């Protein structure tokens, strides 16, 4: 009799262990509006298989997550609660969510219900005032957007679906806002991901150290510096300078030689900070003595940040332009440091 009881207890513990098994990492896809009957996000389709080549952890079970795909706020709220319940039933130490369109807002809502998300990748998610991430529960957000995506803005701007609650295409809380080309529906294709090297943002979570995460961040910023618009390039330069990213030096030198004046000023400062490279100093001195007030002020600021190491360059410039009040001003400021 005792042996039978022990056997039952053993079976019970084994069954309990199976039910509560926690996967180290897991990647799931959360579809958007009206896509619950589509196949592109289900395991066996091309896009999940592509993701799995890089993550090795895309969920492959038959009981995959899905929500109604309804168009109302109530539908999304219920979707967020359903996502939270699904993850509780399928626990993982590090959860990655790839969310298309309003699937991203479903994930936002779930984060406010306490869902812990290591990495959230948004694909054309409408950025609205009534949906925001709970950053205490999300470690990284990558917001992938396309200026050619009319559906994203239709879900955010003052159209019937947007309800006048737009915040545009940029998510302020994102670790990075990645601009690509293509339509709303191209965003969940492997061809677009390959073209823009988006696999960089889905490195294997279980093996990614803090140093590797830093390298990934730098790579994304360098990509933005190469391909972003003016504001994105400016922000990328400042971030890379703060991170002391020596890997960015070659691209900064390209920007210094071939970009517009404001980018050249930022690049000159960043090169000096990161690599001690003073090749941008003559460019700064040129703008310092030019007619454009904004460029003069930018050059003053950049030169002032470079410190006493540029005093010989300033003396040489003053010898050529002895009446330059701007150069004298910079020399005075630098000497005080």
Give me the long-range contacts of 307-314 (CB less than 8 A, separation at least 24).
307/334, 307/337, 308/334, 308/335, 308/337, 309/272, 309/276, 309/278, 310/272, 310/278, 310/281, 310/334, 311/335, 313/278, 313/281, 313/282, 313/285
8 Å CB contact between 224 and 232: yes
The domain locations on the chain are: 21-208
Per residue in 227-256, pLDDT (tens digit) is 888 888 988 898 898 888 899 999 999 999
Distances in whole angstroms, Cα of residue 240 to Cα of each of 112, 215, 264 = 32, 11, 15
Lowest mean pLDDT among 143-147, 150-154, 224-228, 253-257: 150-154
Alpha helical stretches, state H, 90-229: 103-112, 150-154, 190-195, 210-227
The CATH number assigned to the domain with range 21-208 reads 3.40.50.1820
43 CB-side CA count, 13 A: 14
pLDDT tens column, 47-97: 999 999 999 999 999 999 999 999 999 999 999 999 999 999 999 989 999
CA angle 172-174-179, nearest 5°? 95
Nearest residue to 317 (alpha-carbon basis) of 281, 290, 268: 281
Q: What are 26's two structure tokens?
A: 């897991």
User: Does the pTM exceed 0.85?
Assistant: no
**Interatomic CA distance for residues 134 and 116, integer angstroms:** 9
């Amino acid at each position: 009799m005792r042996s039978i009881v022990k056997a039952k207890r053993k079976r019970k513990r084994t069954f309990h262990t199976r039910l509560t098994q926690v996967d180290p990492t897991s990647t799931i896809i959360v579809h958007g509006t009206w896509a619950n009957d589509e196949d592109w996000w289900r395991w066996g389709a091309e896009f999940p298989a592509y993701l799995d080549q890089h993550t090795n952890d895309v969920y492959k079970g038959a009981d995959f997550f899905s929500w109604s795909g309804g168009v109302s706020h109530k539908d999304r709220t219920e979707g967020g609660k359903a996502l939270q319940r699904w993850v509780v039933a399928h626990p993982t130490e590090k959860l990655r969510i790839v969310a298309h369109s309003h699937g991203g807002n479903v994930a936002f809502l779930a984060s406010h219900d306490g869902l812990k998300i290591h990495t959230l990748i948004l694909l054309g998610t409408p950025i609205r005032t009534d949906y925001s991430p709970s950053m205490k529960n999300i470690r990284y957000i990558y917001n992938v957007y396309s200026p050619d995506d009319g559906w994203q803005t239709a879900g955010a701007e003052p159209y019937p679906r947007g309800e006048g609650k737009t915040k545009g295409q940029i998510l302020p809380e994102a670790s990075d806002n990645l601009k690509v080309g293509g339509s709303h529906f191209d965003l969940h294709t492997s061809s677009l991901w390959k073209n823009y090297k988006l696999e960089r943002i889905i490195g294997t979570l279980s093996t990614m150290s803090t140093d590797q995460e830093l390298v990934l961040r730098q790579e994304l910023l360098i990509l933005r510096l190469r391909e972003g618009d003016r504001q994105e390039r400016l922000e990328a330069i400042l971030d890379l300078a703060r991170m002391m990213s020596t890997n960015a030096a070659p691209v900064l030198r390209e920007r210094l030689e071939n970009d517009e004046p404001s980018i050249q000023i930022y690049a000159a400062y960043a090169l000096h900070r990161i690599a001690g490279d003073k090749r941008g100093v003559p460019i700064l001195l040129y703008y310092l003595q030019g007619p454009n007030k904004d460029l003069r002020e930018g050059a003053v600021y950049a030169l002032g940040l470079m410190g006493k190491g540029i005093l010989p360059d300033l003396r040489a410039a003053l010898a050529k332009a002895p009446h330059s009040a701007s150069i004298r001003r910079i020399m005075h400021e630098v000497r005080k440091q």
